[in-house]
Amino acid sequence: DAEITQSPRHKITETGRQVTLACHQTWNHNNMFWYRQDLGHGLRLIHYSYGVQDTNKGEVSDGYSVSRSNTEDLPLTLESAASSQTSVYFCASGRGSGRHNEQFFGPGTRLTVL
């Protein structure tokens, strides 16, 4: 069955370290998204991609970067982790234009920055 996976599921790191969170989908969806979930803020978009080599900033992109070298993967990198980036991160994918099509979410990665 097609699916979307995230790894690791849990990560503890220290302030200043570089961290990369992986997202992999097997639906062959063009569109992929990274969100963070924090109490009081719901889901907020970090970065998104509408195809290979396409990346775009979302609402809360500072301190994060993504790259899209193939259809299946959209890794999220925290260049220098900060305590404010402690959060639960969700990756999602969707087909078509994105606006009319539902998004499929991964299981989430809980990141703690000490």
Partner 1 sequence: ILNVEQSPQSLHVQEGDSTNFTCSFPSSNFYALHWYRWETAKSPEALFVMTLNGDEKKKGRISATLNTKEGYSYLYIKGSQPEDSATYLCAFYNNAGNMLTFGGGTRLMVKP
Binding positions for partner 1, rule: CB under 8 A: 33, 35, 40-45, 48, 50, 56, 58-59, 90, 98-108
Residue where the block lists tokens 């290979």: 52
Between 23 and 81, name the residue whose CB sits nearer to partner 1: 23
To partner 1, the closest distance from the beta carbon of 108 in angstroms equals 6
Between 3 and 14, name the residue whose CB sits nearer to partner 1: 3
Closest to 35 in 3D by CA, of 97, 87, 98, 113:
87
To partner 1, the closest distance from the beta carbon of 18 in angstroms equals 26
Q: Cβ of 48: how many Cβ atoms within 10 Å? A: 22
Classify residue 28 as left (phi > 0), alpha (psi -120 to 50) or beta. Answer: left
Closest to 95 in 3D by CA, of 24, 32, 3, 2:
32
To partner 1, the closest distance from the beta carbon of 50 in angstroms equals 8
To partner 1, the closest distance from the beta carbon of 29 in angstroms equals 13
Between 63 and 98, name the residue whose CB sits nearer to partner 1: 98
Q: What are phi and psi of 83, to 5 degrees?
A: -60, -30
